[in-house]
Amino acid sequence: MLKKEDVLHIARLARLSLTDKQVEKFSIQLSGILDLFKKVDDLDLSGVEETSQVTGLKNIFRADEVKNYQSLTRVDSKKLISGAPLHDGTQIIVPKVIEENNG
């Protein structure tokens, strides 16, 4: 079974604070998970072919093509910007969604 110190170390890495009851519970649960990995490690898979996917699908690669769609490239930017709820005449104004992290 996983030692209390090991569980506390894992919790510290995950920035979790655990009660003594949780440490005991997770010690049992994590030990069970590690036991399952041990069972997989003990399997003799020498005759089993490696598998990366099982669907049989393959990637299909093709060359990139530049297509010019006239209806999309001839947009009047002033008309487009004027339709936005907030704008300064040349740019659409949107609310800030990313906060700056100053340390």
| pLDDT tens by residue, 18-30 | 999 999 999 999 9
Domain count of the fold of the chain: 1
Evaluate whether residue 31 is within a structural domain: yes
Evaluate whether residue 49 is within a structural domain: no
Evaluate whether residue 66 is within a structural domain: no
CATH number at residue 33: 1.10.20
Evaluate whether residue 12 is within a structural domain: yes
Mean pLDDT within 35-44: 94
What is the pLDDT at residue 103?
56
Mean pLDDT within 43-70: 83
Q: Dump strand ranges (E) for 1-103.
A: none
Evaluate whether residue 17 is within a structural domain: yes
- In terms of Cβ atoms closer than 10 Å to its own Cβ (0-12, 13-18, 19+), residue 7 is buried
Evaluate whether residue 36 is within a structural domain: yes
Evaluate whether residue 54 is within a structural domain: no
Asked if residues 89 and 81 have their Cβ atoms less than 8 Å apart, the reply is yes
Q: Residue 23 sits in which domain range?
A: 4-41
CA distance 38 to 48: 18
